[in-house]
Copies of this chain bind each other. A is one copy, B any other.
Amino acid sequence: MKYPEALNKLIESFQMYPGIGPKTAERLAFFTFFKLKDEDIVRFSQNLLNLKTDIKYCSICGVLTDSEKCQICSDPHRSNTILVVESSRDVNVFDKTNQYNGRYHILNGLISPLKGISPNEVNLKSLFKRISYEVPEEVIIATAATVEGEMTAMYIKKQLENSRVRITRIGYGLPAGGDIEYADEITLIKSLEGRRDM
């Protein structure tokens, strides 16, 4: 017994996503058929189509935005510190803390020789250009504590060696609420390296 063609096709579409296996895709397709209103399905379909056409990258920082220049880059009240992150999602995470009032630069990727991603394929050129004319007080690098994150941070540091701008990296170590017992070695090493006077 096979499912109807239209159902199988939708199941396939859901399966394109990481973390969605055959069973989950089936569940989602059935939910679409039995529980969603026709107008919600049409809207979902339309939202998919509009995604790539309606979204732009900010011409300054590279964040995903509706307009040529994003909200943050257009805000004159922000300090000229630049926080360098991997993706637009990271911007949201930092901005929600309400502890950072500077600007951002989004790499839209990380350097990775393993995956064949060279510095040219990451939004770096515009970062260096930007630093040269904005002359920020500080460039904070907030890439992940992974091989690619480290490599990208080192690359930026090296390229800016001769500039007079202060370059820092966010602290790495034990997460809030984290139990030492369950922390991995690398995290503990980072937490020792990042120790501060009390």
Copies in the complex: 2
Known interface pairs A52-B41, A64-B4, A65-B4; A30-B89 also in contact (CB < 8 Å): yes
Q: How many A residues face the partner with a CB closer than 8 A? A: 56
Determine the chain B residues whose CB is within 8 A of the CB of A42 once the complex forms. Answer: 48-49
Q: Specify the main secondary structure of chain A where it touches its partner.
A: helix
Determine the chain B residues whose CB is within 8 A of the CB of A63 once the complex forms. Answer: 1
In the complex, chain A residues 13-33 whose Cβ is within 8 Å of any chain B Cβ: 13, 16-19, 24, 26-33
Asked if A128 is at the interface of the complex by the 8 Å CB criterion, the answer is no
18 pairs of residues in contact across A and B, judged by CB atoms under 8 Å: A1-B71, A1-B91, A1-B95, A3-B92, A4-B64, A4-B66, A5-B66, A6-B50, A6-B53, A7-B64, A9-B47, A10-B51, A13-B48, A16-B40, A19-B27, A41-B51, A41-B52, A45-B45
